[in-house]
A and B are shown apart, each in its own frame.
Chain A
């Protein structure tokens, strides 16, 4: 995506309460035309409720949803120019692949010959074999059903496509393939995609921007790179995969102190705040040292275990009770053996201080 295009969808103080519980709490967001926007959050964070409001299956308790600057809060789902791919896919089991894809066109009374032509085009675009047209949809495999569901939504020709965790039930390898295919489809169609998932990995692969949700609130929005390298809170940093988090307190300018480790660390001076903070160091920024002088911050620990991650190797190092994860590329030399005493360290610019929340 080019720098923030014209907004297609805007959320203003959107809130949805079920009884006293606010499933979605005061969400403000602007999604650009043609953007691939992903909302990530653990289960119960309100992301499904949010996307259901965007698609028109729930009404916000308060706040406004604007599509092309027009308020659509009360527009029912069937009158919105948007379409959703459900987690369950919700394919019609009593219809063939072709009939499923053509559903939206049939509803609009499109001529059957035109419908079939469009369905066959979409099947080709989504790598579905042509003879599947008259196949019962229940006889298709998981991956094929995903493609049928996507084709059915694309046949509707929506301005925005919503995805409610459609890949969560698919096995790892196929999911990886489908993630890339989905991103390709996004490029080919140029449509706005709004995707929700609990997997940050999935979000990283596909999205232009990511919004992280927690307890009904949108706590950080940014590009995958921003979310990864400059998380604002402990929650976001931990959500982004393996990470070393050290609770610390201010210890003068450019320095923080960890009570549990009994050590002080150098940090960029302007990042220290008075309130509770956590020092976040990603495993790939931690390295093994021969002497403490090789890095500005260092710790002594015991090499407890190692995990091969393909191109990288991850090590578990224990410093007292605290577990640290250290990663290095497979080809980098390292002579440490399990139970050896090792020295690990990092430089201030490779660690970030985040709010402890």
Chain B
């Protein structure tokens, strides 16, 4: 036990004990419990049964993995769409408002004060048959709008709408960090506006794009309300499956297995991306 006593000999470590205990109990323990449950036989509620891989087998034999694919697919599309939408917006903000642009971006987060569900129901009223958009179109132009609500496109729309601030903020920050003299220097060396963008602005603002993409991807993979409210349950994302397993189905081990699978896939994706892009190097730090 001499190792332990010397470990605790440092006051800093002793002082860190309360927070360590809190993190172990509040963060690590539940995570371990979820991992543990995922190896228990289906529909059991204890952690001391003989471990099995039955839940994982079921995910793939039962087509449950399809919802995982939906979640990953929708999240990826959300990220791509957000990148395409937010880059020009962020670029414009930075060029017009300069150093105030980052502060302005925070205004885009104001809708977050209102509950996500309420905002999504607002969109239901907007898109529903006879609602704000289709009703107006019909009354003014006599145009009959096709069904948009309760389609995968509506889910995607909802996700892009909800996660926009999370892409816009880091992106604006990233673009604002490109020094103006960099642009001028490139231009002075003969580059056209397009070449300045391709050779200097885009690569130098990559950190903002990367952070925004990771943030929105992780959030979007965990999205559930959009599919329920705007998708009318036409699409079942993995999060919905997890919720069902833990609640109606009372099948904690299956829910745990789905959760573990989701965590694994997301962490692998995130870590791969982070490894490929050395942010420090892009930012020019030593």
Interface residues of A (CB under 8 A from B): 55-57, 76-78, 82-84, 86, 88, 90, 92-94, 103-104, 106-108, 136, 138-139, 152-153, 156
Contact = CB atoms under 8 A, between A and B. Distances in A.
B285 interface: yes
Contacts of B283: 93
18 contacts: A57-B188, A78-B188, A78-B192, A84-B185, A86-B181, A92-B182, A92-B204, A94-B204, A94-B282, A103-B186, A103-B191, A103-B199, A104-B189, A107-B199, A136-B281, A138-B284, A153-B189, A156-B189
Given A56-B188, A92-B200, A107-B195, 19 more contacts: A57-B188, A77-B187, A77-B188, A82-B188, A83-B189, A88-B179, A90-B185, A92-B185, A92-B199, A93-B204, A93-B282, A94-B203, A94-B281, A103-B186, A104-B189, A106-B199, A138-B284, A138-B286, A156-B190
Interface string B83-98: 0000000000000000
B184 interface: yes
B20 to A, nearest CB: 37
A77 B187 CA distance: 6
Interface in B171-222: 179, 181-182, 184-192, 195, 199-200, 203-204
A92 to B, nearest CB: 6
A75 to B, nearest CB: 12
Interface residues of B, number: 23
A158 to B, nearest CB: 9
Contacts of B286: 138-139
Pairs of residues from A and B, 3 with the lowest C-beta to C-beta distance, nearest first:
A93-B284, A90-B185, A90-B181
A77 B284 contact: no
Contact of A104 (B182, B190, B200): B190
A103 B281 CA distance: 19
A136 B281 CA distance: 9
B186 to A, nearest CB: 7
A6 B203 CA distance: 43
Contacts of A57: 184, 188
A88 B192 CA distance: 21
A76 B188 CA distance: 9
Contacts of A86: 181, 184-185
A76 B195 CA distance: 15
Contacts of B190: 78, 104, 107-108, 156
A103 B189 contact: yes
Question: Which among A76, A78, A139 has the greatest number of chain B C-beta atoms within 10 A?
Answer: A78
Interface in B240-278: none
Contacts of B281: 94, 136
B284 A94 contact: yes
A83 B204 CA distance: 22
A195 B187 CA distance: 20
B276 to A, nearest CB: 15
B188 to A, nearest CB: 5
